[in-house]
Amino acid sequence: MKGLARTIVTFSIPAVLACIYPILPEYAKFFLARVMILSVYAYGYAICFQMLGMLSLGHAALFAAGMYGAGLYTIYASPSPLSALLMGVAAALAFSLAMGLLSTRVGGPFLTITTLLAAQALYLVALHFNEITGGEQGIVLGREATLVWPLSPWLGESDSRYLFSLVTLVIAVTGVWALSRSRLGKLFIAVRDDEEKLESLGYNTATLKLLGFALSGVYSGTAGALQALLYSYVGAGYAGILNSVEPVLWVLVGGPLIQVGPLLGCMLVNIIADLARGMLRGHVLIVGLGLVLIAFAAGRLSWAYRLLRRSTGLVS
Amino acid sequence: MSPSQILSLRGVSKFFGGVQAVLDVYLDVLEGEMLGLIGPNGAGKSTLAKLILGSLKPSTGKVFFGGRDITGLSRRERAGLGIAGTNQFPRVFSSLTLRENLEISLKSGGGKHLFESVAEVAELLGLSGLLEAQASSLSHGQRRLLEIGMALVSGSRLLVLDEPSQGLTGGEVERLASILTGLSSKRLSVILIDHRVDFVKSLSGRVGVMSKGRMVALGPAGDKGVADVIEEVYLRGLDAGD
């Protein structure tokens, strides 16, 4: 029964997003497609933070690695969007392995600092090689290089983008749902609970953490590549610190159920930020206020989490 | 080293700065034996357990397991050889269920598995009805039993139990004693470290007495010489050399 409840909760939001699609206005489609891509990023971050307990502040680099890997491939190699998507994921995987090798060995606050510095390094590299990356201004990709272009004669650009994002989201949710039920997922949670104890049972926790970081990188890189290939744009801003902090907020707001929390949190924060976008730097303000409120209300939130866990039997 | 010895400590010492926690300990543990280790607070028992498990490295001396020098091996590598242990304060994976804790442990160790299934060990621990309970919701005693169960299913050949009866109720101590007695048929070697002298003596074939980092007596549990040293160490706080 618990398993069935978990499955229903997990796929409820993607199911709603699929059902309401025909009646959505154009702007809502555009907005929700973007939120769905960011949710894939949120799920990637949740694997690292929520499952393994590693507080990274450098995931923007993994997002940006996927984005640049895909975007620059379409500019300098081939306009084929599917190859570019694979190239973006491969670039994020390579970068996450390199970053993970450095950061997962140290752990705790040192991991947070190492990932933050690695992301800032990528950001500065992207700015420095302005003529290749487009720097802060970025580069607009050719229309034929986007994933929506082949489908647009039948579906239209916004519908193609929405459906592509939805399919990717369903794949991402299914992956996390399967991971949370798998032995590997349990081992990730065991690392978070008591790494030393797991080590004493004979497990190589360094490898487990690196594996989790790389998997998280694949999710983040996929989101970054889709950002480039669905919205025809790459820019250094995506490698900045704000893009590393936002997923922390999404995961915290979303709650303890990893199967649904990242999507829920990402949607809530982005909807609120979108409503407040008329304000000066409203988006940044919402993220900052959200983090402060969460820190302030942590005790009450954890009480709510425990209550939810006890009452539903749903655990992350 | 004779073939029946599974663990051998040769002149093992551990210093923390100027403090000597363990001093020049020689100890052999036989295959299938339950060896008790007693001594007052600060005698060095838990430090010795950590030196055997690999959480600490000796300052001097050597540790052999199955005839192999394992002095330089990490705790993980020792676990792979079949050395398992429990901690003074039970450590389990709180977010996972009792079943998941045991399943993770069941597939971890490198030694011969004493139990074929999670259900079998849960039955032995008297925790069958709690298999789907989250570990964080268990009582102290249940967590203690779970940690022992995790060590038992991890494919261990040598089990080091550090204060397993601490914080347990009378009934739970009886349950623990019955579990440990049942292990004698499994050919598992156990080092039982505990404050309860009678509990240790009733279960162990041999008993070692530690005081101020030294092994001051080692012999059969019923031996009068050992009993005299225990009395001396506990009642008068004396070192054997005093």
Q: What is the mean pLDDT of residues B25-51?
A: 92
pLDDT interval class at A145 (50, 70, 90)? confident
Do residue B79 and residue A316 have CB atoms under 8 angstroms apart? no
Q: What is the predicted pLDDT for the residue at A125?
A: 92
The 3-class SS string of A89-146 reads: HHHHHHHHHHHHHHHCCCCHHHHHHHHHHHHHHHHHHHHHCHHHHCCCCCEECCHHHC
In this complex, is the C-beta atom of A192 within 8 Å of any C-beta atom belonging to chain B?
yes
pLDDT tens figures, A72-93: 999 988 878 889 999 999 999 9
pTM of the shown model:
0.87
Strand partners, B214: B211
Residue A316: closest C-alpha in chain B:
B95
Please state, in angstroms and rounded to a whole number, the distance separating the CA atoms of residues A53 and B237: 45
In this complex, is the C-beta atom of A189 within 8 Å of any C-beta atom belonging to chain B?
yes
Please state, in angstroms and rounded to a whole number, the distance separating the CA atoms of residues B50 and B56: 5
Q: What is the predicted pLDDT for the residue at A255?
A: 81
Please state, in angstroms and rounded to a whole number, the distance separating the CA atoms of residues B242 and B240: 6
pLDDT interval class at A316 (50, 70, 90)? very low
Please state, in angstroms and rounded to a whole number, the distance separating the CA atoms of residues B177 and A224: 58
Top-ranked range on mean pLDDT: pick from A181-185, A235-239, A292-296, B120-124? A181-185
pLDDT at B107 over 80: no
pLDDT interval class at B69 (50, 70, 90)? very high
Please state, in angstroms and rounded to a whole number, the distance separating the CA atoms of residues B109 and A98: 30
Share the mean pLDDT of chain A.
87
In this complex, is the C-beta atom of A193 within 8 Å of any C-beta atom belonging to chain B?
yes
B107: chain A residues, CB-CB within 8 Å:
183
In this complex, is the C-beta atom of A30 within 8 Å of any C-beta atom belonging to chain B?
no
In this complex, is the C-beta atom of A12 within 8 Å of any C-beta atom belonging to chain B?
no
B93 vs A194, A202, A204: nearest CB: A194
Do residue A193 and residue B80 have CB atoms under 8 angstroms apart? no
Residue A315: closest C-alpha in chain B:
B95
**Contact of A222 with A92, CB cutoff 8 Å:** yes
Instruction: Identify residues of B whose CB sits under 8 angstroms from chain A CBs.
Output: 53, 55, 74-76, 79-80, 84-85, 91-96, 100, 103-105, 107-110, 134, 150, 154
pLDDT at B53 over 60: yes
Chain B: give the shortest CA distance to residue A194, in Å.
6
- Substitution target in B75, B76, B89, B97 with the highest count of A β-carbons within 10 Å is B76
pLDDT interval class at B233 (50, 70, 90)? confident
Q: Of all residues in chain B, what percent carry a pLDDT higher than 70?
A: 93
pLDDT at A314 over 70: no
Do residue A186 and residue B100 have CB atoms under 8 angstroms apart? yes
Distinct helix (H) and strand (E) counts, chain B? 8, 10
Q: What is the predicted pLDDT for the residue at A221?
A: 97
Directed axis angle between helix B170-182 and helix B140-153, to 10°? 10
pLDDT at B221 over 90: no
Residue A190: closest C-alpha in chain B:
B93
DSSP-derived pairing of the beta strands B68-69 and B214-220 = unpaired
Total count of domains within chain A: 1
Residue A191: closest C-alpha in chain B:
B93
Please give the residue range of the domain that contains residue A220. 21-240
CATH 3.50.50.100 correct for B5-236: no
- Substitution target in A181, A191, A194, A200 with the highest count of B β-carbons within 10 Å is A200
A189 vs B93, B103, B107: nearest CB: B93
Do residue B154 and residue A201 have CB atoms under 8 angstroms apart? yes
pLDDT at B216 over 80: yes
- Domains in chain B: boundaries: 5-236
pLDDT interval class at B185 (50, 70, 90)? confident
Please state, in angstroms and rounded to a whole number, the distance separating the CA atoms of residues B28 and B49: 14
Q: What is the predicted pLDDT for the residue at A223?
A: 97
Chain A: give the shortest CA distance to residue B90, in Å.
10
Question: Which residue has 């199955």 as its token pair?
Answer: B66
Please state, in angstroms and rounded to a whole number, the distance separating the CA atoms of residues A232 and A230: 6
Q: What is the predicted pLDDT for the residue at B98?
A: 95
